[in-house]
Chains A and B, each alone.
Chain A
Amino acid sequence: MAAILSIRDLRKTYDGGFQALKGVSLDIEEGEILALLGPNGAGKTTLISTICGITTATSGSVSVGGFDNVGQFRQARALIGLVPQEITLEPFTKVLDTVTFSRGLFGKPASPALVEDVLRKLSLWEKRDSRIMDLSGGMKRRVLIAKALAHEPRILFLDEPTAGVDVELRKDMWGIVRELKADGVTIILTTHYIEEAEAIADRVGVITGGELLLVEEKEQLMARMGQKQLEVQLTAPVTAIPAALAQHNLQIVNGGDALLYTYDTRAERTGITTLLNDVAEAGLVLADVQTRESSLEDIFVGLVSGGKASGGAVSGDAA
């Protein structure tokens, strides 16, 4: 697949001297969902703002669909839809009017049919004559998405689309994102909810301190860096690990009620069979066994706290 968005060594230093982006390079392929994951203040919003033309880059370049976002800003920006993080809508306007406005602002001829289609997809059609101030928070977010989609962009930026929304609405939003992807829209979303990236992204980029630590297929990332844990629950508690089990690197958890075994899912042998045999030989009686995969969150915490991607800096807490 061809890159629809190419970012090269993008740097941004604000007037106060704060370096928000320290040379970010990134290619985004057409039709994918990329989640930019990072803590607050990592540079996620600055990155999006710089691509969209709201912030001026200090150096570096951005090419959108082959158009430079400064020199050919008209062609470049026409391809982009932006959903901002904050709810920024004029309270007194009506839903239909503000969405129609967004289409016109991008120079597209009026198309009531298309606007209706967008509003219907976002379950806003019934609310088309409502004023923004009369809508719920969730509806307002949908209006922001409708505005961004009104000019038929090929790339959609969602800046923290689910920050501060309840679980149900978040799932709703994920559904919308998946539908958009099915329509062929490339989606770049920022989030600090790992769950979100895990649920909908094809690729995950981790950004912190203005640097992109890594960009990788979500599945690969989790497989490469993911660890699995096996918790062996015992009928009678132990105070020390029996000598026969020393070679397995076990941890005692739950006050001695369980033993925790950490293994690599990608290794040729996980060592589980040997472990369970050894447990039985040591005279311990199993009550139950449980396995747990390390989540993207574990990987993320490992990355951000450990600086640059080191491949194995993953720690998993006892379940």
Chain B
Amino acid sequence: MNWTAVATIYRAEMARFWRTFLQSFISPVLSTSLYFVVFGSAIGSRIQEVDGVEYGAFIVPGLVMLSVITQSISNASFGIYFPKFIGNIYEILSAPINFLEVVAGFVGAAATKSLFIGTVILCTASLFVDLSIQHPLAMVAFLVLTCLSFSLMGFIIGIWAGNFEQLQLVPLLVVTPLVFLGGSFYSISMLPPVWQTITLFNPVVYLVSGFRWAFFGQADVPVLLSLGAIGGFTLACMAVIWWIFKTGWRIRA
């Protein structure tokens, strides 16, 4: 491994983050606060409890997942699309580094950013509701794995995208609906039986469910299944990226 190169890419990507630190920090704090005002206070006051958990607290894992997933994808896809767009990707392609090193640098930085944002949201949430985390280690593991796997997915989107519209397309048309319909704001058991079955095809369900289990000890699907799902997703993304670099798809003529 060419660790110097990995650290170089990582640092350069993080530099972009620090340059816009204030907006990176303020925007998740603001949006989380808004969610709490609307869902937690206005609507949540009319909902008693979900699965024995106060509604305001119940939505925290879903909220964190929502932000972490969208941030991971947008950070990583932009990170690799930008040099493609500007043309300075030539430098990465002609450097003595392999695909693992490129991915480690770009995806590592994107995952770090969303991990930071996830943590900020958790801290903000704790100002509004009383948060108890039953399985802190599992919580961290789910959070890190989600940041990593969706940053990998973002990396693929960034390589696939041919313009800025396409860069927004997948997050907007696929990811956001999946996250909203993935039980971020409700328990699957609240759905009619047919929809309960359909919803199980949504991969985000497993993430939110597992993450929620780490907080409250309750899950819609078995926690090991959640872990397996996210592990499988990570491996699938890695395989796609390996194939991309092997064939040069969309990056190397």
Residues of A participating in the B interface, judged by any CB pair closer than 8 Å: 14-15, 49, 52-56, 73-78, 80, 82, 84, 86, 88-93, 97, 101-102, 104-109, 147
- Which residues of chain B (4-20) have a CB below 8 Å from chain A? 4-5, 7-9, 11-12, 15, 19
CB <8 Å contact, B90 and A88? yes
CB <8 Å contact, A53 and B97? no
Name which residue of chain A comes closest to B251, CB basis. A54
Known: A82-B91, A104-B4, A107-B4. 18 other contacts (CB 8 A): A52-B94, A54-B94, A54-B252, A55-B252, A56-B248, A73-B96, A80-B94, A88-B87, A88-B90, A90-B82, A91-B86, A101-B8, A105-B92, A105-B97, A106-B5, A108-B4, A109-B4, A147-B91
- Which residues of chain B (89-129) have a CB below 8 Å from chain A? 90-97
Checking A14, A55, A77, A88 against B95 with a beta-carbon cut-off of 8 angstroms, the contacting residue is A77
Chain B residues whose CB sits within 8 angstroms of the CB of A104 once the complex forms? 4-5, 7-8, 11
Report the minimum CB–CB distance from A304 to chain B (whole Å): 25
CB <8 Å contact, B96 and A78? yes
Report the minimum CB–CB distance from B211 to chain A (whole Å): 35
Checking A56, A82, A86 against B252 with a beta-carbon cut-off of 8 angstroms, the contacting residue is A56
Chain B residues whose CB sits within 8 angstroms of the CB of A92 once the complex forms? 19
Name which residue of chain B comes closest to A147, CB basis. B91
The 4 closest A-B pairs by CB, nearest first: A104-B8, A88-B87, A74-B96, A77-B96
CB <8 Å contact, A54 and B93? yes
Chain A residues whose CB sits within 8 angstroms of the CB of B12 once the complex forms? 97, 101
Kindly state the interface size class of chain B when it binds its partner. Answer: 20 to 34
CB <8 Å contact, A82 and B90? yes
21 chain-A/chain-B pairs, Cβ below 8 angstroms: A14-B253, A15-B253, A53-B93, A77-B94, A80-B94, A82-B91, A84-B90, A90-B83, A90-B88, A91-B86, A93-B15, A101-B8, A104-B7, A105-B8, A105-B9, A105-B92, A106-B96, A107-B5, A107-B95, A107-B96, A147-B91
Chain B residues whose CB sits within 8 angstroms of the CB of A147 once the complex forms? 91
Report the minimum CB–CB distance from B162 to chain A (whole Å): 15
Chain A residues whose CB sits within 8 angstroms of the CB of B97 once the complex forms? 74, 105, 107
CB <8 Å contact, A88 and B86? yes
Checking A14, A97, A108 against B15 with a beta-carbon cut-off of 8 angstroms, the contacting residue is A97
Assembled-state Cα–Cα distance A106/B2 (Å)? 8
Assembled-state Cα–Cα distance A82/B94 (Å)? 8
Assembled-state Cα–Cα distance A196/B212 (Å)? 67
Chain A residues whose CB sits within 8 angstroms of the CB of B82 once the complex forms? 90
Chain A residues whose CB sits within 8 angstroms of the CB of B15 once the complex forms? 93, 97
Report which residue of A53, A78, A91 has the largest number of chain B beta carbons within 10 angstroms of its beta carbon. Answer: A53
Assembled-state Cα–Cα distance A91/B88 (Å)? 11
